[in-house]
Amino acid sequence: MATIAWIGLGHMGGPMSGNLVAAGHEVRGVDPDPACRAAAAARGVRVVDTIAEAVVDADAVFTSLPRGEHVREVLGGAGGVWATAPTTALLLDTSTVDVETSRFCHETSAERGFRFVDSPVSGGIAGATAGTLTFMLGGEDDAVAEAASLVEPMAGHVFMVGGPTMGIAAKLANNLMLFVSLLGLAEGSQLAAELGLDAETFFRVASVSSGDSWPLRTWYPAPGVVATSPANRNFDATFTTVLAEKDLSFALAAGEQAGLHLPAAGIALDQFERLIAEGYGGKDCSLIVKYASADGRVEGFDPDA
């Protein structure tokens, strides 16, 4: 069994690190939020105060952080991973960051004598809790092979997708597809409702027809149709609009650099930005359904609640 340091014990990192504990690994975790620290401790993670304490004699160091700037600071800041961890430790970043940040992490880790694997995940909080996440691993072959073994207790699927930054490339392309699909779900569900179709009946039709998609099966934007839908809980977030805007902006930036034309993704990004401007950045990204409705109101959402 391995000694693992885990930096970032939030909605994803907390249950993921707990699954490593359940598999028999020793996990030391760091997070500034008291509630996250307490939840991780309840899962068996040994919570410590500093990165330096977490990485002592660690075989691997995982990061699970909100944005690229946080990853850069945790790795490269004073008292950070590069300054305090043994160079024998494998570094794995499960965060969704921009391609340039991922490349910086690979190149600077190598310069400092570390092996680094970009290790983003898909499957959300439910997948993190259940240990059924999809991992997309990018890096040098030996490091990726070691990473694949380490992540098994957290994973339903593990893909070794190529060299450095290929994991984050797969994640950004996947999330672009997710959010474009979500846009179609928002519009199709509202058209069905406006034409008089019962929401549950239409869901059953679409889920076995060409309109099927992951967001349809997971986030159908009407209450009482899908148990996991945020519409059952006033669109409280399973995946916040702020995070969706971040991921999609990274994907579009990569597409722009490649000279691609991605108009559908641009429309989805515009709608996420509108939600944030209206003060709904903390609500679920599926709330973009309100822009497809006739009057901006949708069943299951009370803006005053």
Cα separation, 8 vs 174, whole angstroms: 23
Say if residues 39 and 62 touch (Cβ distance below 8 Å).
Answer: no
Q: Which residues of 152-171 are buried (b: 16+ CB within 10 A; e: fewer)?
A: ebbbeebbbbbebbbbbbbb
Say if residues 105 and 133 touch (Cβ distance below 8 Å).
Answer: no
Active site residue 171: yes
DSSP 154-177: GEEEEEEEESTTHHHHHHHHHHHH
Say if residues 114 and 82 touch (Cβ distance below 8 Å).
Answer: yes
Which of 171, 246, 283, 290 does the annotation list as catalytic? Answer: 171
Return the active site residues: 171
